[in-house]
Chains A and B, each alone.
Chain A
Amino acid sequence: MTDAIVSCRGVSKIFGSGELAVHALREVDLEILPGDFATLAGPSGSGKTTLLNMIGALDTPSSGHVVIDGQDLGSLSKAQLSDLRLNKVGFVFQAYNLIPVLSARENIEFVLELHGLERGERRQRATDILREVGLEGMEDRRPAQLSGGQQQRVAVARALVSRPRIVLADEPTANLDSRTTGELVQLMYRLNREMGTTFVIGTHDPRVMEHSKRHIELLDGRIASDERIG
């Protein structure tokens, strides 16, 4: 028994069957520890997204076990997996994926509503986290009225507001220019340092990897290297 937030043991994922079967992950063993700021790198098709999906309880392995905060995903129903994601995991997507009909604040409050928080507390926490990510004064703007970088900040705020055990980001800077990328990476890095939030970031971007405290390299569905930096 370790204090790992995520523990993968012999995880394999096969898409399709027979001659058309694709082995996206092969016998992966991995532990994500509290406070990690890990980057998951590797060429396209190496299994980064598949592994992030496993860690985020979005998908279940074909074989092996994924345990998140002590809960084995294989034993959970769809509703229980939803609960697990709601309470333990925050997501940041490449395409931001904000709800277009809600303002920046409402996008964040929506997650808190799913948690059943009262209106006053929701509003306070949404306002605080938006200030934290540098979007004070933009609370009432809808996604279409924000730049790409600002939308991604809202997405980070949404992922963090419910204080999850781990935040997973899949290519979060792929659609951003270099200045915005720098700002976003600094933001995530600061939140990791100051709030102790665990981040696992799937990326090709060297500017993200520069701040990484742990670098995991995937190749053909296997972990080719896993090194802690500094």
Chain B
Amino acid sequence: MMNTIRIFAPLAWRNLWRNPRRTLITLVVVSVGLWSVLAFNSFLNAWTQASKDTTLQLLLGQGQIHAAGYMDDPGVETLMPPPSDGLLKALGDKRINAWATRLVVPSVVQSEYKTLPVMIVGVDPKAEGRVSSIPGKVVEGRYLNGPDDDGVVIGRHLAERLKTGLGRRVILMSQGADGLLAEQSFDVVGLYDVDQQTEDYYVFTGRTAGQKFLRLKDEIAEIVFTIPKDQDLAPVIRSLKAVAPDMDVRSWKQLSPFLAATNSFMSGFIYIWLSVVFTLMAIGIVNTQLMAVFERTHEFGLLQALGMKPRLVLIMVTMESTLLIGLGVLIGMAMAAASIWVTSDGIDLSGFARGLELVQGGQVLYPKFDAGSFVLFSLVIWILGIVVALWPARRASKCSPVEAMRMAT
């Protein structure tokens, strides 16, 4: 086989350039097709990652721990004590980047004009800053100073709906630990600006101040934690479940099935695109190769007349396709790598911020070079391209030498 390749590879290469225009058309079809798959894959991954990061960094984290039953009926009856020594040790795992405790209970907020349902979130601002992006999203006033800060930070859109603002007072009402109504006025010390849904729903105060308001001791609603590497998520969840078997430990995929499904769909979408591109590419390759074979019918007959076996004609024409598509694949890879390199500093989509909010998309995408998918998609295109090019090659091998003789004379 190596001998056959050695004989036919140079001939196949020269044959490619007998009709440079046709060869260039095929090269463009293959390289642009592959470039679109690789660049689109990188863009989709960046989009998926940015959407995921935006959502996880807001409040969700990579995972959360609650008391059993809290997720079904969040309230003062389903809170849990602060983390035990065993849980604290498990949360000190090197794979966990940061963690924070929160008090999260349903409440209503009232201004002079309106009463709206919200979730009151009691936080330790220092720890919260390590797990959530919201402390950095305060656009007016300030974030909370400490766990006992009894001011509130509310969303800008909520402030508009309540017709209130910085320095004004709002009243929060909820059920206290004693089962009676808890009601207290709070100063609005800051307004934050993220997506409208979050702004409308979450009101932040100091954790100790929240516990005091609800007449609690030191109970909390959740522990949120962040994990930098995706592959560490499942083992960390397992180890936390092991030390807190009676608690409800969930990953972000369980906490937000919609986000997980969106991620999964985005990953699958590239295969739809790959099949569309490949179908178009296959039509292009088969067309041009069939034309090339048709034009050289006489020559294939002649080669057989000289003693070349039909199998060798098939190998020679397949080799031409292999070289041609392989070259197109290399060019496509180079184009895609260049596109990713050019955009690796970030594609700023903040101009579409309002639209992106609706689909929970990130505003800046960072396409990354992924060697695995580069090699995989390139090989798929190359191999499938060779497979479809076998049809014209088979036709070439079927040429009758006597027909070629007839044409020659």
Contacts and interface: CB of A to CB of B under 8 A. Distances in A.
A116 B7 CA distance: 10
Contacts of B307: 82-83, 85-87, 89, 111, 114
A46 to B, nearest CB: 14
Contacts of A176: none
Interface stretch (B10-18, B60-68, B77-85): B10-18
Contacts of A87: 307
A91 B306 contact: yes
B163 interface: no
B302 A100 contact: no
Given A102-B14, A113-B7, A116-B3, A58 B309 contact: no
B349 interface: no
A116 B306 CA distance: 14
A170 interface: yes
A79 B309 contact: yes
A93 B408 contact: yes
A94 B312 CA distance: 25
B310 A49 contact: no
A85 B306 contact: yes
A59 B402 contact: yes
Question: B interface, how many residues as a size bin?
Answer: 20 to 34
Contacts of A59: 402
Given A78-B310, A79-B311, A82-B304, A99 B299 contact: yes
Interface residues of A, number: 30
Contact of A82 (B7, B15, B308, B408): B308
B405 A58 contact: yes
A97 B302 contact: yes
A1 interface: no
Contact of B408 (A94, A99, A101): A94
Nearest to A95: B408
Nearest to B302: A97
A143 interface: no
A146 to B, nearest CB: 17
B231 interface: no
A85 B301 CA distance: 13
Contact of B310 (A82, A95, A99, A100): A82
Contact of A56 (B3, B15, B305): B305
B401 interface: yes
Contacts of A56: 305
Contacts of A53: 402, 405
A49 B308 contact: no
Given A82-B308, A97-B408, A58 B401 contact: yes
Interface string A137-177: 00000000000000000000010000000000011000000
Contacts of B310: 78-79, 82
Given A53-B402, A95-B408, A102-B11, 14 more contacts: A58-B401, A79-B310, A82-B309, A91-B306, A93-B405, A93-B409, A97-B302, A99-B11, A99-B303, A100-B18, A101-B11, A101-B15, A110-B306, A114-B7
Ranked nearest first, the 7 interchain pairs of A and B with the lowest CB-CB distance are: A86-B307, A101-B14, A59-B402, A58-B402, A82-B309, A85-B307, A93-B408
18 contacts: A53-B402, A58-B305, A59-B402, A79-B311, A82-B307, A83-B307, A83-B309, A86-B306, A87-B307, A93-B408, A94-B408, A94-B409, A95-B409, A99-B11, A99-B299, A110-B306, A114-B307, A114-B312
